[in-house]
Amino acid sequence: MRLVAILVVVLLTASACGSGSDTAAPASTTAVPATTTSTTEPTASSQATTTAPTTSAQAPTTTAVSTTTAVPTTTATPTTTAVPTTTATPTRATVVPPLTEYLPPTVPGGDTTFCQLLAIPAPLDTDVVRVGFPRPTKSAPAEGTVKYALVLVDFPDAPGRQDEIGPVHESVDLVSAYYHSISDGRLTITWVKSDEFVRVSQPSMSYDPTVGNPGGSNHPWGVLLSEEIIALADESMDFSDVFGVFFYTAAATPYEAAIGPGGWSMFSMMDHTIFSTDEGPLASAYGLTSSQRVRDEPWATWAHEIGHTLGLADFYVRPDPSSFGTDEYSPMGHWALMASQLGATKSMGAWNRWLLGWLTPQQVYCAPPVPLSNAEVTLQPLVRSGDGYKAVIIPINDHKAVVAESRRSEGVDVNMGGEGGVLVYTVDTSIGHMQGTQKVQLPDGRDPGRQSYGAWPDALLAVGDRLTVEGTTIEVLQTGDYDRIRFSKAALAETTTTTTTTTTTTLPPATETAGVQDGTFATCGSFLTPNDAQTWFDANPDFGESVDGNGDGTACGDGDFGGATDCGGRAPVLVLPQFCDQYQT
Ligand SMILES: [Zn+2]
Task: Give per-residue pLDDT as tens, 294-346.
Answer: 788 889 989 998 998 899 998 887 655 455 455 567 788 888 999 888 888 89
Does the structure show a pLDDT above 80 at 562?
no
In angstroms, the CA 146 to CA 142 distance is 8
Could you tell me the pLDDT band of residue 449, with boundaries at 50, 70 and 90?
low
Strands of 183-272 (E only): list them: 187-199, 242-249, 267-269
Range 507-528 average pLDDT: 44
Q: Could you tell me the pLDDT band of residue 389, with boundaries at 50, 70 and 90? A: very high
pLDDT at 21: 35
Q: How far is the CA of 341 from the centre of ligand 1 (A)?
A: 9
CA dist 175 and 41 (Å) reads 10
136 versus 160: which is more confidently predicted? 160
What spacing in Å lies between the alpha carbon of 265 and ligand 1's midpoint?
Answer: 9
Q: How many CB atoms sit inside 10 A of residue 138's CB?
A: 17
What is the DSSP-derived secondary structure letter of residue 168? H
Cβ-contact 427, 403 below 8 angstroms: yes
User: What's the pLDDT tens digit per position in 72-84?
Assistant: 333 333 333 343 3
Ligand 1 centroid from CA 315, angstroms: 8
C-alpha span between 246 and 309 (Å, rounded): 12
Please determine, for residue 433, whether its predicted confidence score (pLDDT) is greater than 60: yes
Residue 248 has pLDDT above 80, yes or no: yes
Residue-averaged pLDDT of the chain: 73
DSSP one-letter string for 17-45: IIIHHHHHS-GGGG---HHHHHHHSS-HH
Looking at 31-45, 355-369, 419-433, which range is the least confident one? 31-45
- pLDDT of the residue at 496: 41
- Tell how far the Cα of 92 is from the centroid of ligand 1, in angstroms: 39
Cis check: omega of the bond before 134, within 30 degrees of 0 = yes
Burial (0-12, 13-18, 19+ Cβ within 10 Å), 147: middle
Backbone angles phi, psi at 577, to 5 degrees: -60, -25
Asked whether residue 175 carries a pLDDT value surpassing 70, the answer given is yes
Ligand 1 center from residue 571 Cα (angstroms)? 34
Q: Could you tell me the pLDDT band of residue 559, with boundaries at 50, 70 and 90?
A: low
Q: Cβ neighbours of residue 66 under 8 Å, at least 6 residues apart?
A: none
Ligand 1: centre distance to CA 308 (Å): 7
CA of 339 to the centre of ligand 1 (A): 8
Alpha carbons 209 and 107: distance in angstroms, whole number: 56
Q: How far is the CA of 338 from the centre of ligand 1 (A)?
A: 6
- The pLDDT, as a whole number, for residue 125 is 73
pLDDT for position 136 = 84
pLDDT above 70 for 352: yes
- In whole angstroms, give the CA distance from residue 127 to residue 132: 12
Q: Which residues pair with 285 in a beta bridge?
A: 245, 267
Asked if residue 514 has pLDDT above 60, the reply is no
Residue 495: exposed, middle, or buried by beta-carbon count in 10 A (0-12, 13-18, 19+)? middle
* pLDDT tens digits along 538-551: 766 555 556 666 66
Question: Which pLDDT score, from 0 to 100, does residue 469 have?
Answer: 95
> Can you say whether residue 155 is alpha, beta or left, with left for phi > 0 and alpha for psi between -120 and 50 degrees?
beta
* pLDDT computed for residue 240 by the predictor: 97
Residue 486, Cβ density class (10 Å: 0-12 exposed, 13-18 middle, ≥19 buried): buried
455 pLDDT band, cuts 50/70/90, is low
CA 486 / ligand 1 centre spacing (Å):
34
CA neighbor of 203 nearest in space, from 161, 275, 260, 288: 260
d(CA 114, CA 393): 9
Q: Measured in whole angstroms, how far is the alpha carbon of residue 283 from the centre of its chain?
A: 19
The listed range with the strongest mean pLDDT (134-148, 176-190, 453-467) is 176-190
Query: Which of 337-351, 374-388, 406-420, 528-542 shows the lowest mean pLDDT across its residues?
Result: 528-542
Q: Give the closest residue to 455 by CA, choosing from 482, 487, 416.
A: 416
Region of poorest pLDDT, from 209-218, 332-341, 357-366 = 209-218
Q: Give the mean model confidence (pLDDT) for residues 256-282.
A: 64
Q: Is residue 265 scored above 80 in pLDDT?
A: no
Whole-number pLDDT of residue 260: 43
**Residues 520-524: contacts with CB under 8 Å, at least 24 apart:** 520/318, 520/319, 521/10, 521/11, 521/13, 521/219, 521/220, 521/265, 521/546, 522/546, 522/547, 523/7, 523/10, 523/547, 523/561, 523/562, 524/555, 524/556, 524/560, 524/561, 524/562, 524/563, 524/576, 524/577
Q: Where are the domains of the chain?
A: 2-38+143-309, 73-121+343-489, 507-582
Quote the ligand 1 centre to 498 CA distance (angstroms): 30
Measured CA distances, 223 to 152, 200, 275, 282, 473 (Å): 17, 14, 9, 13, 49
The whole-angstrom separation of Cα 376 and Cα 47 is 30
Helix %, strand %, coil % for the chain, to 5? 30, 20, 50
Q: How far is the CA of 284 from the centre of ligand 1 (A)?
A: 13
409-418 average pLDDT score: 88
Q: How high is the pLDDT of residue 326?
A: 57
Instruction: Kindly state the percentage of the chain with pLDDT values over 70.
Output: 62
Neighbours of ion ligand 1 (CB under 5 A): 16-17, 314
CA distance linking residue 254 with residue 291, whole number of Å: 9
- Of 77, 34, 141, the C-alpha closest to 477 is 77
Query: Ligand 1 center to residue 261 CA distance, Å?
Result: 15
**pTM for the model:** 0.70
What separation in Å is there between the alpha carbon of 411 and the centre of ligand 1?
A: 22
| Cα–Cα distance, 420 to 332 (Å, whole number) | 17
Residue 416 has pLDDT above 50, yes or no: yes
Q: From the CA of 17, how far away is ligand 1's center (Å)?
A: 5
Helix, strand counts (H, E) of the chain: 18, 17
Alpha-carbon distances, residue 583 vs 392, 495, 556, 567 (angstroms): 34, 16, 19, 8
Q: Tens digits of per-residue pLDDT, 570-579?
A: 766 677 766 6
Distance in Å, CA 301 to ligand 1 centroid? 9
pLDDT digits (tens, 9 = 90+) for 98-128: 999 999 999 999 999 999 999 988 877 777 7
How far does the centroid of ligand 1 lie from the alpha carbon of residue 313, in Å?
Answer: 7
| pLDDT at residue 128, as a whole number | 79
CA 28 to chain centre: 27
What mean pLDDT comes out for the span 342-371? 94
Region 164-168: mean pLDDT is 96
